[in-house]
Amino acid sequence: MAVPGVGLLTRLHLCAQRRTRVQRPILRLLSCPGTVAEDLRRNEQPSGSVETGFEDKIPRKRFSEMQNERREQAQRTVLIRCPEKFSENKFLKYLSQHGPINNHFFYESFGLYAVVEFCRKESVGSLQNGARTPSMAMETAIPFRSRFLSLKLKNQTSEQSCIQSSNQLPPSNRKLFELLCYAESIDDQLNTLLKEFQLTEENTKLRYLTCSLIEDIAAAYFPDCVVRPFGSSVNTFGKLGCDLDMFLDLDETRNLSTHKTSGNFLMEFQVKNVPSERIATQKILSVIGECLDHFGPGCVGVQKILNARCPLVRFSHQASGFQCDLTTNNRIALTSSELLYIYGTLDSRVRALVFGIRCWARAHSLTSSIPGAWITNFSLTMMVIFFLQRRSPPILPTLDSLKTLADAEDKCIIEGNNCTFVRDLNRIKPSGNTETLELLLKEFFEYFGNFAFNKNSINIRQGREQNKPDSSPLYIQNPFETSLNISKNVSQSQLQKFVDLAQESAWILQQKDTDRLSVSSHQPWGLAAILLPSVPNRRSLTKKKRNRSANESIKNLLESLKSNRTANFTETNEKRTISTQT
C-alpha cells in the first residue's frame, strides 16, 4: 500500500457527521496531554475549565446519580439566541436581575447562542415572565413559551464586542493526522484521538438541555414525563457530532396512582385503551411528533417513523445542531446505556480503544449514518467489550459476574428480561491486566481478523464464544434480550469487509520499523496509517503484499544462508517488508 502524505488525508471522512442535513454548531474545548502534539493544540485552548464528566473520580458516580444531577442542572438552564455583537457583561448583569447565574457559555450554530445556567430554578420562571412573544409583520407567531429565547438589542450601544465562543466539532482530518503523526506512541495516539473526539462538558450540557426542552413540550400532554438521553450521548462512548437518542419515560405518569391512594378507596384516571403496548407507543409518539413539528422552537424536519421495530420520532434540533431520535417504551436501551457507562468508566483503556475502533470503522465506511447492512457503533462497542473480557487476566468483567455483585437495590426485570447487574462502580474490583493500548489495538484486529464468525457468536454476558444459534453472518447476543442478535442486519459481504480490513490493519501495525521511519518523515504511522481510506481492491493488494513479503522472505533466507547470517533473519525480513509497503 502506498502511504500518502498528509495532503491526501482530507479525503478521509473521519468527522462524525452522521446526518449532514443538520446544521452543526462549532464549539469545542480541548485538553492537552504532555506530548509534542500538545504544542499544536495549545494555541486552540480557550479559557475555562473542561471536564468531560467521565474522568476517573473516586468515588465514581452511578449512572442514575449522574443523570439526575445533569437533568436538574438542565432544568435551571435557558438557551438564548443572541445577536452577533453585544456586551457580555451587560448581558450577564441583565440576566442576573432574575437570580444568580451558576455558569454560562456561548457557541455558534449558524448564529450565536448562549447557554445560561441559573443557580435556582425560579430564576427561569422570572426570566420567562419578563419575555414577550414577538410580533411579526408578515407571519403570525404561535404563542409558545419555552426556555429557548431570543435576545434583542433595544438600542445599539458603543459597548458591543464580539463574543468569544468555543467550538464543538472534532478536529479537521488534517489537524487530526498532524496530531497523530507527532504523537510518541500508539498509546499516545489513541489517547489523543479520545481527547479530540470525546464529548466536552459543554456539549454534554447542551445534550441534557435539549432533552429538557423537549421534556417541557411533551409535558403539555404528560406533565410527569421525563425525557432522558441514552445511547452514546451518555454511555461514555459519544463522539462530538453523534446523534442525541432520547427516551420519553412515562413511568412516573403511570405509577402516580399508587402513591396517591389511601383508605378504602382507589381512584383511577379515566383513560382510552388500545389493543397493545406498541399501538400506545405509536399514538403517543405520533402526537408528540406533531407537537414538536407545530410548536417546538428550533425543531425541524420532524419524521414519524412509527412502523420501525422500535417506533421513533426523528428531528433536527437546529439551535443545538443535534439530530434527535425520540423513542418511548425503550427502557432496555436505557439499561444498555447504563451497562456501557459502567464498562466505559471501569478502565481508562476501554474508551480509548472503542474510540479508535469506531474511528477506524468510520474511516473505512464499515459504519454509516444510513441504516443498512453495516455494523453499528453499538455492535462494535460490544465487540471491543467482548475482546477485553477475553484477555488474560480479563480487563472487563462479564455481565454475569456483574450480576453476581448486584444487591437487592440493583434487581431489575424489564419486560420479563433479567437486567440485574451491580450499579455501584466502586464495588467492582479493578483489573490486574497491564497490557498497553498498542498491544490491545493490534490484538483486537488479530482476534477478529481470525474469529470463527461462521460458527461462533459473541456474548458479553458469559464472556466466551458460543455456537451461533442461527445462520446470521455476525451474531452478537443482545445482553438483555438474550434470544436476539443485535447485529442481525449485517450482511456477509460487510462482515467480510470488516475481517479483511482487520487483517490488513493488524498487518500494518506489525510493521514496527515503519512507525519509526514515518515519525521522522512525518508520514502517517501507527493509528494514522490504519485510518487511511480504503483503496480499490485493497484486499487483493493485501494478498499481493503478503505474497510479495513471503517471496522476499524466501529470497532473504537463501541470501542469509549463503552469507551465513541466518541469525538476523527476522529483522531483515521485517525491513524488507517495510520497503514493499511504501
Where do contacts with ligand GTP occur on this chain (CB under 6 A)? 230-232, 235, 242-243, 245, 332-333, 336-337, 376-378, 478, 486
Quote the least distance from Cβ 46 to ligand GTP, whole Å. Answer: 25
- Measured between alpha carbons, how far is 387 from 449 in angstroms, rounded to an integer? 12
| Choices 204-212, 239-247, 390-398, 439-447; region in contact with Mg ion by CB under 5 A | 239-247
Quote the least distance from Cβ 303 to ligand GTP, whole Å. Answer: 15
DSSP 9: G
Quote the least distance from Cβ 484 to ligand GTP, whole Å. Answer: 7
DSSP 170: P
Quote the least distance from Cβ 238 to ligand GTP, whole Å. Answer: 6
Type of residue at 209:
L
Using a CB cutoff of 8 Å and minimum separation of 24, what contacts does 291-294 make?
Answer: 291/217, 291/218, 291/220, 291/221, 292/214, 292/217, 292/326, 294/142
Residue with the shortest CB distance to Mg ion: 231
**Does the bond joining 536 to the residue before it have cis omega, within 30 degrees of 0?**
no
Residue ranges in 332-351 that form contacts with Mg ion under rule CB under 5 A: none
- Measured between alpha carbons, how far is 361 from 356 in angstroms, rounded to an integer? 9
- Measured between alpha carbons, how far is 113 from 243 in angstroms, rounded to an integer? 20
β-strand pairing of 101-108 with 226-230: unpaired
Q: Which among 563, 422, 581, 440 has a CA at the least distance from the CA of 514?
A: 581
> Per DSSP, which regions of 283-362 are E strands?
299-305, 312-317, 322-328
From Mg ion, ligand GTP, none, which one binds at residue 197 (CB under 5 to 8 Å depending on kind)?
none
Quote the least distance from Cβ 485 to ligand GTP, whole Å. Answer: 8
- Measured between alpha carbons, how far is 446 from 469 in angstroms, rounded to an integer? 24
Interaction between residue 362 and Mg ion (CB under 5 A): no
CB nearer to Mg ion: give 163 or 476.
Answer: 476
Quote the least distance from Cβ 244 to ligand GTP, whole Å. Answer: 9
Q: Which among 387, 294, 295 has a CA at the least distance from the CA of 343?
A: 387
From Mg ion, ligand GTP, none, which one binds at residue 333 (CB under 5 to 8 Å depending on kind)?
ligand GTP
Cβ–Cβ under 8 Å, residues 115 and 213: no
CB nearer to ligand GTP: give 369 or 572.
Answer: 369
CB nearer to ligand GTP: give 178 or 245.
Answer: 245
Q: Which among 520, 331, 504 has a CA at the least distance from the CA of 414?
A: 331
Residue ranges in 432-491 that form contacts with Mg ion under rule CB under 5 A: none
Interaction between residue 245 and Mg ion (CB under 5 A): yes
Sign of CA dihedral 110, 73, 248, 371: positive
Cβ–Cβ under 8 Å, residues 46 and 166: yes
C-alpha distance across the termini of the chain, in Å: 6
CB nearer to ligand GTP: give 242 or 385.
Answer: 242
CB nearer to ligand GTP: give 380 or 531.
Answer: 380
CB nearer to ligand GTP: give 127 or 385.
Answer: 385
> Per DSSP, which regions of 13-150 are E strands?
77-82, 85-86, 101-108, 112-118, 148-150
β-strand pairing of 112-118 with 161-162: unpaired
Residue with the shortest CB distance to ligand GTP: 231
CB nearer to ligand GTP: give 22 or 112.
Answer: 22
Quote the least distance from Cβ 245 to ligand GTP, whole Å. Answer: 4
Binding-site member from 232, 320, 323, 573 for Mg ion (CB under 5 A): 232
Quote the least distance from Cβ 240 to ligand GTP, whole Å. Answer: 10
Q: Is 536 helix (H, G, I), strand (E, B) or coil?
A: coil
| Choices 50-58, 245-253, 289-297, 447-455; region in contact with Mg ion by CB under 5 A | 245-253
Q: Is 90 helix (H, G, I), strand (E, B) or coil?
A: helix
Quote the least distance from Cβ 372 to ligand GTP, whole Å. Answer: 12
Quote the least distance from Cβ 367 to ligand GTP, whole Å. Answer: 7
Cβ–Cβ under 8 Å, residues 213 and 148: yes
Binding-site member from 215, 243, 438, 500 for Mg ion (CB under 5 A): 243
Interaction between residue 238 and Mg ion (CB under 5 A): no
CB nearer to ligand GTP: give 377 or 472.
Answer: 377
CB nearer to ligand GTP: give 148 or 453.
Answer: 453
Binding residues for Mg ion, rule: CB under 5 A, are 231-232, 243, 245
